[in-house]
Structure 1
Amino acid sequence: MFWDFQWTFEVLPDLLRGLGVTIQVTVVGYLIALILGLLIAIVRRIPIFGSVLHAVMEFIRTTPLIIQLVFVFLLAPSTVSGLTVGIIVIGVHYSAYTAEVYRSGIEGVAKGQWEAARALSLPGRRTWGAIVLPQAIRKVIPALGNYLIAMFKDTPLLLAIGVTELLTEAQRVGSASFRIVEAYTAVGLLFLLVSVPSAILIRRLERRYAAV
């Protein structure tokens, strides 16, 4: 038979376990990218750090993620798992992109808002926390959401460092039973099952915040 439904249902728990790892990498890595990207965007406004951080971020953006994964994995201590390396590297990699998104949002805050904060003698922490960031982040939520989907689709690259995520699990069970078509098709369907609802949510966010 071209398609073995019984085999597909038998290996589905294995594939779902791999999907769980994929989602874990995506969620934790995305949180790292959001937090680190915001810190980078703020620190880059300090002249003494701006040019150095810009160079580092450009290096990260212009080198392949898979090379970064393998390089860090080979240099990491043996006690650090491939999963940990994968989460950290993918989070730092995407922080280089989220930092640019935050930067555009911060620069989009009207100059008068900054001047009003200075006129009221507001401390820097309150200026950023109560005036600048609420406006900047609100404007860039849809763009940040797009990187969540991009990160989810990049998780199969963790195969290079031995992380058993969804694609690796499919490759294992498919090769063992010579049912590659079923295994890879199931992977595609599971990816769609997660990414399509995420894309719909992001589109709704775009419509909601388009006029902000």
Structure 2
Amino acid sequence: MEFLNNLWDFEYTGEVLPDLLSGLVVTVQATGIGYALALTLGLFIAVVRRVPFFGALLHFLMEFIRTTPLVIQLVFVFTLAPPDVSAFTIGVIVLGIHYAAYTAEVYRSGIEGVAKGQWEASRALSLPTSRTWTAIVLPQAIRRVIPALGNYLIAMFKDTPLLFAIGVVELLAMAQQVGSKDFRYVETFTMVGFLFLLVSIPSAIVIRRLEKRYVAV
């Protein structure tokens, strides 16, 4: 019992929990804003990529983003950014653009999965291009790719600790700061893992329910 008390201090855990929760708030905010950006920008890229010239240019850019480490992108953009732009803003933007390169491919696969006959039918009915996309193509395409898009939400949430490289004090960075004061890392890092699970597991459950509700329709 004495060994257990030395290994884990419940009183210390209660003291540092508010600080860890503040770091978790930053992590969730960065994930939410970055993911919304990734979904929106990824959809835009997937649609524009069907235009011949812009498609080739965007394909090269997206391949470059996917094949370079996220942490390098964060540091590079942070170094070049104006000093009045906060590290959090830079981190969210880079996260969003980085994952937009992946969500764009997901959207593309969904769009290509729409039956060719439906495209031909919309042209035969002289439907406007905007109407074809919003009423026929995108509703089917997005429904098909909900599971993959949801997986990237979890992946982005787990990548937010990389924001520490540019000075954003998210959950893991907060745990390092708190733990270094008393050199007690067992409690802090264990709580980090628990808090990550506390958010990621319910998110995964929601994604699975959305998959069952929309994909199977």
Q: State if a TM-score over 0.5 links the two structures.
A: yes
Q: Which moved more, 1:82-91 or 1:195-204?
A: 195-204
Q: Distance in 2 between matches of 1:211 and 1:4?
A: 48
Shift of 1:21: 0.2
Which residue of the partner structure matches residue 167 of structure 2?
A: 162
Pick from 179, 187, 208 the counterpart of residue 203 of structure 1: 208
Which residue of the partner structure matches residue 105 of structure 1?
A: 110
How many positions carry a matched residue from both structures? 212
- SS of the residue corresponding to residue 109 of structure 1 reads coil
Q: Distance in 2 between matches of 1:19 and 1:146?
A: 20
* Per-residue CA distance 1:123-154 (angstroms, 9 max, x = gap): 11111011111111111111100000000000
Which residue of the partner structure matches residue 42 of structure 1?
A: 47
Pick from 174, 186, 189 the counterpart of residue 191 of structure 2: 186
Which residue of the partner structure matches residue 26 of structure 1?
A: 31
Residue identity in the other structure for 2:200: S
Q: Does 1:139 align with 2:144?
A: yes
1:56-135 aligned within 5 A: 56-135=61-140
Q: Distance in 1 between matches of 2:96 and 2:45?
A: 13
Which residue of the partner structure matches residue 60 of structure 2?
A: 55
Residue identity in the other structure for 2:125: L
Asked if 1 retains the 8 angstrom alpha-carbon contact of 2:39 and 2:100, the reply is yes
* Per-residue CA distance 1:100-123 (angstroms, 9 max, x = gap): 000000000000110010001011
User: Unmatched 5+ residue regions in structure 1?
Assistant: none
> Which 4+ stretches in 1 moved above 4 angstroms?
none
Q: Distance in 2 between matches of 1:127 and 1:160?
A: 44
Shift of 1:210: 4.2
Residue identity in the other structure for 1:206: E
Q: Distance in 1 between matches of 2:70 and 2:7?
A: 36
Which residue of the partner structure matches residue 11 of structure 2?
A: 6
Q: Distance in 2 between matches of 1:95 and 1:154?
A: 14
- SS of the residue corresponding to residue 79 of structure 1 reads coil
Q: Distance in 2 between matches of 1:143 and 1:209?
A: 13
* Per-residue CA distance 1:53-77 (angstroms, 9 max, x = gap): 0000000000000000000000000
- SS of the residue corresponding to residue 7 of structure 2 reads coil
User: Unmatched 5+ residue regions in structure 2?
Assistant: 1-5
Asked if 1 retains the 8 angstrom alpha-carbon contact of 2:143 and 2:215, the reply is no
Shift of 1:205: 2.5
Asked if 1 retains the 8 angstrom alpha-carbon contact of 2:42 and 2:103, the reply is yes
Residue identity in the other structure for 1:201: V
Q: Distance in 2 between matches of 1:191 and 1:4?
A: 21
Shift of 1:199: 1.1
Which residue of the partner structure matches residue 3 of structure 2?
A: none
Shift of 1:208: 3.0
RMSD value over aligned CA atoms?
Answer: 0.8
Q: Distance in 2 between matches of 1:132 and 1:204?
A: 23
